[in-house]
Amino acid sequence: MPGLYFEEFEVGHRFDHAWTRTVTEMDNVLFSTLTMNVQPLHIDRHFSAQTEFGRPLVNSLFTLGLVIGMSVNDTTFRTTVANLGMSDIRFPAPVFHGDTVHVQTTVLSKRESRSRPMAGIIEFEHVGLNQDGAVVCRCRRAALMHKRPGAGAA
Protein backbone atom coordinates (compact mmCIF):
# COMPACT_ATOMS: atom_id res chain seq x y z
CA MET A 1 0.00 0.00 0.00
CA PRO A 2 1.46 3.39 -0.90
CA GLY A 3 1.88 6.17 1.62
CA LEU A 4 -0.17 9.32 1.53
CA TYR A 5 0.09 12.13 -0.97
CA PHE A 6 0.54 15.72 0.19
CA GLU A 7 -3.19 16.49 -0.08
CA GLU A 8 -4.13 13.55 2.15
CA PHE A 9 -2.26 14.76 5.23
CA GLU A 10 -4.16 16.76 7.83
CA VAL A 11 -2.44 18.89 10.47
CA GLY A 12 -2.96 17.32 13.88
CA HIS A 13 -3.56 13.79 12.59
CA ARG A 14 -1.77 11.17 14.69
CA PHE A 15 -0.72 7.80 13.37
CA ASP A 16 -0.29 4.94 15.84
CA HIS A 17 1.87 2.69 13.69
CA ALA A 18 1.07 -1.00 13.97
CA TRP A 19 4.67 -2.11 13.49
CA THR A 20 6.72 -3.00 16.55
CA ARG A 21 10.35 -4.08 16.62
CA THR A 22 12.42 -5.78 19.28
CA VAL A 23 15.99 -4.50 19.15
CA THR A 24 18.69 -7.17 19.29
CA GLU A 25 22.34 -7.17 20.23
CA MET A 26 23.14 -7.97 16.59
CA ASP A 27 21.25 -4.84 15.43
CA ASN A 28 23.30 -2.69 17.76
CA VAL A 29 26.72 -4.21 17.09
CA LEU A 30 26.20 -4.41 13.33
CA PHE A 31 24.90 -0.83 13.02
CA SER A 32 27.64 0.54 15.28
CA THR A 33 30.45 -1.22 13.44
CA LEU A 34 29.05 -0.50 9.96
CA THR A 35 28.99 3.20 10.83
CA MET A 36 32.45 2.96 12.45
CA ASN A 37 31.09 4.03 15.83
CA VAL A 38 33.38 2.01 18.08
CA GLN A 39 32.06 3.60 21.27
CA PRO A 40 32.42 0.80 23.85
CA LEU A 41 29.08 1.80 25.40
CA HIS A 42 27.52 0.13 22.34
CA ILE A 43 29.79 -2.79 21.52
CA ASP A 44 31.68 -3.83 24.67
CA ARG A 45 29.60 -5.71 27.25
CA HIS A 46 32.39 -5.70 29.87
CA PHE A 47 33.07 -1.98 29.50
CA SER A 48 29.39 -1.05 29.62
CA ALA A 49 28.86 -3.25 32.69
CA GLN A 50 31.02 -0.74 34.57
CA THR A 51 28.85 2.26 33.56
CA GLU A 52 25.77 3.61 35.28
CA PHE A 53 23.66 1.60 32.81
CA GLY A 54 25.33 -1.72 33.59
CA ARG A 55 24.86 -2.99 30.04
CA PRO A 56 25.30 -1.86 26.42
CA LEU A 57 23.23 1.04 25.16
CA VAL A 58 21.68 0.77 21.73
CA ASN A 59 23.25 3.29 19.35
CA SER A 60 20.98 6.35 19.32
CA LEU A 61 21.32 6.80 15.56
CA PHE A 62 19.99 3.26 15.08
CA THR A 63 17.07 4.19 17.33
CA LEU A 64 16.40 7.35 15.29
CA GLY A 65 16.52 5.45 12.00
CA LEU A 66 14.25 2.74 13.37
CA VAL A 67 11.68 5.24 14.63
CA ILE A 68 11.52 7.08 11.32
CA GLY A 69 11.61 3.85 9.32
CA MET A 70 8.69 2.37 11.23
CA SER A 71 6.56 5.35 10.15
CA VAL A 72 7.16 4.95 6.41
CA ASN A 73 4.44 2.41 5.53
CA ASP A 74 1.65 4.63 6.84
CA THR A 75 2.99 7.98 5.71
CA THR A 76 5.62 8.30 2.99
CA PHE A 77 6.02 4.92 1.24
CA ARG A 78 6.46 5.71 -2.49
CA THR A 79 5.02 9.20 -2.05
CA THR A 80 8.02 11.11 -0.72
CA VAL A 81 10.39 13.04 -2.93
CA ALA A 82 13.06 13.49 -0.24
CA ASN A 83 13.69 14.15 3.42
CA LEU A 84 14.53 17.82 3.91
CA GLY A 85 15.83 17.60 7.45
CA MET A 86 15.38 16.51 11.01
CA SER A 87 15.47 18.68 14.11
CA ASP A 88 14.75 18.70 17.82
CA ILE A 89 16.05 15.14 18.12
CA ARG A 90 15.94 13.88 21.71
CA PHE A 91 16.58 10.54 23.42
CA PRO A 92 14.88 10.90 26.83
CA ALA A 93 15.41 7.24 27.82
CA PRO A 94 17.91 4.64 26.63
CA VAL A 95 17.17 1.61 24.49
CA PHE A 96 18.66 -1.71 25.53
CA HIS A 97 18.94 -5.08 23.79
CA GLY A 98 15.56 -6.78 24.08
CA ASP A 99 13.49 -3.58 24.20
CA THR A 100 10.52 -3.43 21.85
CA VAL A 101 9.88 -0.11 20.13
CA HIS A 102 6.64 1.25 18.71
CA VAL A 103 6.03 4.63 17.09
CA GLN A 104 3.49 7.42 16.95
CA THR A 105 3.62 10.14 14.30
CA THR A 106 1.79 13.46 14.34
CA VAL A 107 1.45 15.83 11.36
CA LEU A 108 2.62 19.20 12.66
CA SER A 109 2.32 21.33 9.54
CA LYS A 110 1.93 21.31 5.79
CA ARG A 111 2.57 23.85 3.08
CA GLU A 112 2.82 24.04 -0.67
CA SER A 113 6.32 23.96 -2.12
CA ARG A 114 7.26 27.34 -3.59
CA SER A 115 9.67 25.80 -6.08
CA ARG A 116 7.90 22.56 -7.02
CA PRO A 117 4.23 22.83 -8.00
CA MET A 118 3.82 19.04 -7.87
CA ALA A 119 4.98 18.76 -4.25
CA GLY A 120 4.43 20.07 -0.75
CA ILE A 121 6.24 19.99 2.56
CA ILE A 122 4.96 18.04 5.54
CA GLU A 123 6.48 18.37 9.01
CA PHE A 124 6.11 15.29 11.19
CA GLU A 125 6.82 14.60 14.82
CA HIS A 126 7.91 11.01 15.39
CA VAL A 127 7.86 9.56 18.90
CA GLY A 128 9.40 6.18 19.69
CA LEU A 129 8.28 4.39 22.83
CA ASN A 130 9.51 1.22 24.48
CA GLN A 131 7.40 -1.66 25.75
CA ASP A 132 6.78 0.20 29.03
CA GLY A 133 5.57 3.36 27.29
CA ALA A 134 8.75 5.35 28.01
CA VAL A 135 9.70 7.79 25.27
CA VAL A 136 13.06 6.69 23.84
CA CYS A 137 13.21 9.04 20.84
CA ARG A 138 11.45 12.18 19.68
CA CYS A 139 12.19 14.17 16.53
CA ARG A 140 10.74 16.51 13.95
CA ARG A 141 11.18 15.67 10.29
CA ALA A 142 10.40 17.71 7.19
CA ALA A 143 9.60 15.74 4.04
CA LEU A 144 8.99 16.91 0.50
CA MET A 145 5.92 14.95 -0.59
CA HIS A 146 4.47 14.26 -4.01
CA LYS A 147 1.02 15.59 -4.78
CA ARG A 148 -1.48 13.23 -6.34
CA PRO A 149 -0.70 12.66 -10.01
CA GLY A 150 -2.49 15.37 -11.96
CA ALA A 151 -2.77 17.69 -8.96
CA GLY A 152 -1.06 21.05 -8.99
CA ALA A 153 -0.86 21.25 -12.79
CA ALA A 154 -2.05 24.57 -14.17
Output the average pLDDT for the chain. 95
Per-residue confidence band for 56, with pLDDT thresholds at 50, 70 and 90: very high
How many CB atoms neighbour CB 9 within 10 A? 22
72-130 pLDDT per residue, tens: 999 999 999 999 999 999 999 999 999 999 999 999 999 999 999 999 999 999 999 99
Q: Which amino acid is present at 100?
A: T
98-109 pLDDT per residue, tens: 999 999 999 999
Per-residue confidence band for 152, with pLDDT thresholds at 50, 70 and 90: low
Buried b / exposed e along 50-77 (16+ C-beta atoms within 10 A) = eeeeeebbbbbebbbebbbebbbebbbe
- Please state, in angstroms and rounded to a whole number, the distance separating the CA atoms of residues 75 and 146: 12
Check residue 151 and give its pLDDT: 64
Per-residue confidence band for 153, with pLDDT thresholds at 50, 70 and 90: low
Check residue 18 and give its pLDDT: 95
Query: Which 8-state DSSP code applies to residue 109?
Result: E
Q: Hey, what domains does the chain have and what are their CATH numbers?
A: 6-146 (3.10.129.10)
16-49 pLDDT per residue, tens: 999 999 999 999 999 999 999 999 999 999 999 9
How many CB atoms neighbour CB 23 within 10 A? 22
Read off the pTM: 0.92
Give the CA distances from residue 38 to residues 9, 16, 52, 96, 126, in Å, rounded to whole numbers and listed in that order. 40, 34, 19, 17, 27
Check residue 119 and give its pLDDT: 96
How many CB atoms neighbour CB 29 within 10 A? 17
Q: Which amino acid is present at 55?
A: R
Q: What are phi and psi of 46, to 5 degrees?
A: -70, -40
Per-residue confidence band for 149, with pLDDT thresholds at 50, 70 and 90: confident
By DSSP bridging, strand 14-22 and strand 119-129 are: unpaired
Alpha helices in the chain (DSSP H): 25-34, 40-43, 45-49, 60-69, 72-75
SS3 label, residue 144: strand
